[in-house]
Structure 1
Amino acid sequence: MSSSVASFPECSATCPRIAELEEENEELREELAVKDEKIERLRSKLRKYENPHQPSSQKRGTTKSKNRGDENDDGGSEDISSEEDGSSQEKLGDKNGGRGRKVGHKGETRQRSEPDRREAVLEDRCTNCGRELDDPDWTTTKIVEDIPDPGSVEAVEYEIGHYECECGEETVATHEDIPEKGNFGPNVLTQTTLLKFQERVPYGKIQDLFEDVYELKVSTNTLYNFTGRVADQLRPFYEQIREKVRRSEAVHCDETGISLEGENGWIWTTTTENEVLYNVREDRSQEALEYMLGENYHGAIICDGWTSYSAYSSNLQRCWSHLLNESEFTADKHQEAVPVDEELHRIYKDLKKFREEDPPPDKREKKRKKARKELEDLVNQDYENGEVQKLVNYIENGIDHWLTFVTNPEVEPTNNRAERSIRKIVTLRKIIGTVRNKRGRYILETIMTAIETWKARGQNPHNEMQKILRNS
Structure 2
Amino acid sequence: MHKEQYEKLETRIIELEKKNKELEKKLLAYENAHTPPSKQIFPVREKSSSGKRGRPKGCPGSTRKFRKPDRTIKLTAKKCPYCHEKLGKPDRIESKIIEDLPRPKQTIITEFLQGFYTCPHCGKRVETKHDDLPDSGSFGNNTLTQVSLMKFQDRLPYRKIQEALERQYGLKIAPASILDFTKRVSDKLEKTYNQIIFKVRVSKYAYVDETGLKVDGKKYWVWIFVTAAETLALIRKSRGGDVLEKVLGMDYGGIIICDGWRVYPKFTNNLQRCWAHLLRESDFIGRREEEGRKLSDKLHRFYRNLNELLDSDPPGNERKAIKMNAEKNLKEILREKYKSERVVKFINKIKNGMNHWFTFVTNPMIEPTNNIGERGLREFVVQRKIIGTLRNEKGTQIYERLMTCIGTWKQQGLNTREELLSCLRS
Say whether residues 1:46 and 2:27 are aligned partners.
Answer: yes
Residue in structure 1 matched with residue 39 of structure 2 by the alignment: 57
- Once the two structures are overlaid, the 10-residue window that deviates more, 452-461 or 121-130, is 121-130
1:40 Cα deviation (Å)? 2.1
Partner SS, residue 154 of structure 1: coil
Larger radius of gyration: 1
Contact preservation (8 Å) 2:215, 2:392: yes
Partner SS, residue 441 of structure 1: helix
Say whether residues 1:432 and 2:414 are aligned partners.
Answer: no
Say whether residues 1:382 and 2:382 are aligned partners.
Answer: no
- Once the two structures are overlaid, the 10-residue window that deviates more, 335-344 or 273-282, is 335-344
1:349 Cα deviation (Å)? 1.9
Provide, for residues 214-256 of structure 1, a one-character-per-residue CA deviation record: whole Å limited to 9, x for no partner.
2222211110010011111112111111111112111100000
1:22 Cα deviation (Å)? 4.2
1:107 Cα deviation (Å)? 9.4
Contact preservation (8 Å) 2:233, 2:404: yes
Contact preservation (8 Å) 1:249, 1:410: no
Gaps of 5+ in 2: none
Partner SS, residue 259 of structure 1: strand
Out of 45, 65, 85, which is 1:112 matched to? 65
Distance in 1, matches of 2:250 and 2:79, equals 81
1:164 Cα deviation (Å)? 3.4
Residue in structure 2 matched with residue 26 of structure 1 by the alignment: 7
Say whether residues 1:226 and 2:207 are aligned partners.
Answer: no
Provide, for residues 431-457 of structure 1, a one-character-per-residue CA deviation record: whole Å limited to 9, x for no partner.
122122221111000000011111111
Out of 363, 370, 385, which is 1:415 matched to? 370
Say whether residues 1:133 and 2:87 are aligned partners.
Answer: yes
Question: In 2 relative to 1, CA 110–60 (structure 1 residues): closer, same or farther, beyond 3 Å?
Answer: farther
Provide, for residues 415-471 of structure 1, a one-character-per-residue CA deviation record: whole Å limited to 9, x for no partner.
11111010110000111221222211110000000111111111121121122222x
Distance in 1, matches of 2:42 and 2:322, equals 36
Question: In 2 relative to 1, CA 116–218 (structure 1 residues): closer, same or farther, beyond 3 Å?
Answer: same
Partner letter of residue 334 of structure 2? Answer: V
Q: How does 1:267-282 map to 2 (within 5 A)?
A: 267-282=222-237
Partner letter of residue 151 of structure 1? Answer: K
Partner SS, residue 105 of structure 2: coil
1:411 Cα deviation (Å)? 2.2
Question: In 2 relative to 1, CA 294–362 (structure 1 residues): closer, same or farther, beyond 3 Å?
Answer: same
Question: In 2 relative to 1, CA 59–217 (structure 1 residues): closer, same or farther, beyond 3 Å?
Answer: closer
- Once the two structures are overlaid, the 10-residue window that deviates more, 448-457 or 142-151, is 142-151
Q: How does 1:442-457 map to 2 (within 5 A)?
A: 442-457=397-412
Q: How does 1:356-371 map to 2 (within 5 A)?
A: 356-371=311-326
Residue in structure 2 matched with residue 294 of structure 1 by the alignment: 249
Partner SS, residue 253 of structure 1: strand
TM-score (norm 2): 0.92
Out of 466, 469, 472, which is 2:421 matched to? 466
Partner letter of residue 391 of structure 1? Answer: F
Out of 190, 208, 226, which is 2:163 matched to? 208
Out of 164, 179, 187, which is 2:134 matched to? 179
Question: In 2 relative to 1, CA 204–467 (structure 1 residues): closer, same or farther, beyond 3 Å?
Answer: same
Provide, for residues 368-389 of structure 1, a one-character-per-residue CA deviation record: whole Å limited to 9, x for no partner.
1111111111222221111211
Say whether residues 1:256 and 2:256 are aligned partners.
Answer: no
Contact preservation (8 Å) 1:190, 1:466: yes
Distance in 1, matches of 2:219 and 2:61, equals 45
Distance in 2, matches of 1:135 and 1:186, equals 52
Distance in 2, matches of 1:128 and 1:352, equals 73
Contact preservation (8 Å) 1:161, 1:172: yes
Distance in 2, matches of 1:440 and 1:419, equals 23
1:305 Cα deviation (Å)? 0.5
Provide, for residues 134-167 of structure 1, a one-character-per-residue CA deviation record: whole Å limited to 9, x for no partner.
3322111221112211122222111112333332
Question: In 2 relative to 1, CA 108–234 (structure 1 residues): closer, same or farther, beyond 3 Å?
Answer: farther
Distance in 2, matches of 1:403 and 1:300, equals 12
Identity %: 40
Partner letter of residue 323 of structure 2? Answer: R
Number of residue pairs matched by the alignment: 417
1:131 Cα deviation (Å)? 2.6
Partner SS, residue 192 of structure 1: helix
1:121 Cα deviation (Å)? 2.1
Contact preservation (8 Å) 2:30, 2:41: no
Contact preservation (8 Å) 2:327, 2:358: yes
Question: In 2 relative to 1, CA 246–34 (structure 1 residues): closer, same or farther, beyond 3 Å?
Answer: same
- Once the two structures are overlaid, the 10-residue window that deviates more, 206-215 or 273-282, is 206-215
Say whether residues 1:94 and 2:47 are aligned partners.
Answer: yes
- Once the two structures are overlaid, the 10-residue window that deviates more, 144-153 or 304-313, is 144-153
- CA RMSD in angstroms comes to 2.3
Contact preservation (8 Å) 1:279, 1:292: no
Residue in structure 1 matched with residue 353 of structure 2 by the alignment: 398
Distance in 2, matches of 1:401 and 1:135, equals 79
Distance in 2, matches of 1:108 and 1:248, equals 43
Contact preservation (8 Å) 2:232, 2:404: yes
